[in-house]
Amino acid sequence: MLVDYHTHHYRCGHATGDLIDYARAAARRGLSEIGLSDHSPIYHLGPDPHARPGTAMAQGEFPAYVEEMRRVRDELRGDVTVRLGVESDYVLGWDDHYRALWQDAGLDYVIGSVHWLGTWSIFNRDLPRGRTRQDVYEEYLRTTQAAARSGAYDVIGHLDCLKTRGHIPDLGVTPLLEETVAVLREADVTIELNTSGWRKGLGEPFPREAWLNVCFEQGVPVTLGSDSHRPQDVGADFDEAVRLLRRVGYREFAAFEGRVRTMRPLD
């Protein structure tokens, strides 16, 4: 019985469906748990409370999002366990703003994702002015380390997401990658096997197998997420994901309740 801890819904502006549609999709798929984890509001791009309508929910929307997650959890009790989460950005220097957003929201887990290096989005097709791919790679992994060390997150999202637009000079195992995974271990955070890489045509999930091997060898726990932006993608490619995790050596995955991790067998 698997969990899908990475899902979105209409509030972020680039996904479709209501929260309950995702939860029902999980029940239909036979998952034991669905984690709702839409993109948190964005703070670091200036005073506009809805700086990027197509990227994340407005700042004022967060309480309604949490309230609706609670309703969905109650409504589907008995069909599927609904966990309350959020995918929050990790932006250097903005820890406290993001942390303050959710710390009293009664969430089950928080995914910390590096989507931004300052004001540059890793999904931008162009590199930041005057920066090389190597510069961006180093800053991305060092920012990931800072996210883990911040203690604000339970799960670090899509570890090698920088590859989406090809802004990564080395997808192999570099000393900086090994150092980064050691920091994840030391900080006791969980990574996710995020299956959306397959749906994005990358031919592999996030992170790729070579990176997963390093995580497994260093003892970093893993959970599963589809990163679905449509209800029909809940649990997508999980058979393939489980085969991959088992090939790497994982025999259990992480589940969360009230920000406490428990390990379950990966059957």
How many degrees, rounded to 5, is the angle at CA 195 between CA 190 and CA 199? 155
Instruction: Judge contact between 94 and 73, C-beta under 8 A.
Output: no
CB of 157 or CB of 207, closer to Zn ion: 157
Greatest alpha-carbon span in the chain: 54
Site stretch for Zn ion (CB under 5 A), options 77-85, 93-101, 155-163, 172-180: 155-163
The C-alpha atoms of residue 249 and residue 243 are separated, in whole angstroms, by: 10
In the bound complex, what is the minimum distance in angstroms from residue 198's beta carbon to Zn ion? 15
> Residue of minimal CB distance from Zn ion?
113
In the bound complex, what is the minimum distance in angstroms from residue 134's beta carbon to Zn ion? 23
Q: What φ, ψ does residue 190 adopt, rounded to 5°?
A: -105, 145
In the bound complex, what is the minimum distance in angstroms from residue 248's beta carbon to Zn ion? 22
Residue the block writes with tokens 């604000």: 152
Report how many residues bind Zn ion under the rule CB under 5 A: 2
Among 127, 214, 130, which residue's Cα sits nearest to residue 168? 127
Binds Zn ion by CB under 5 A, chosen from 88, 113, 196, 223: 113
Site stretch for Zn ion (CB under 5 A), options 20-28, 69-77, 99-107, 157-165: 157-165
- The answer to whether 180 contacts Zn ion (rule: CB under 5 A) is no
Instruction: Judge contact between 252 and 264, C-beta under 8 A.
Output: yes
The C-alpha atoms of residue 17 and residue 23 are separated, in whole angstroms, by: 11
CB of 52 or CB of 264, closer to Zn ion: 52
Site stretch for Zn ion (CB under 5 A), options 19-27, 41-49, 105-113, 249-257: 105-113
Q: Which structure tokens are listed for 30?
A: 């036979």
CB of 100 or CB of 123, closer to Zn ion: 123
CB of 113 or CB of 143, closer to Zn ion: 113
Among 261, 215, 223, 221, which residue's Cα sits nearest to residue 242? 223
In the bound complex, what is the minimum distance in angstroms from residue 258's beta carbon to Zn ion? 23
CB of 146 or CB of 266, closer to Zn ion: 146
Site stretch for Zn ion (CB under 5 A), options 70-78, 92-100, 151-159, 201-209: 151-159
Q: Which structure tokens are listed for 176?
A: 């900086």
In the bound complex, what is the minimum distance in angstroms from residue 154's beta carbon to Zn ion? 15
Q: Which structure tokens are listed for 54?
A: 């197509």
Q: How many residues does the chain have?
A: 267
Question: What is the contact surface with Zn ion in residues (CB under 5 A)?
Answer: 113, 157
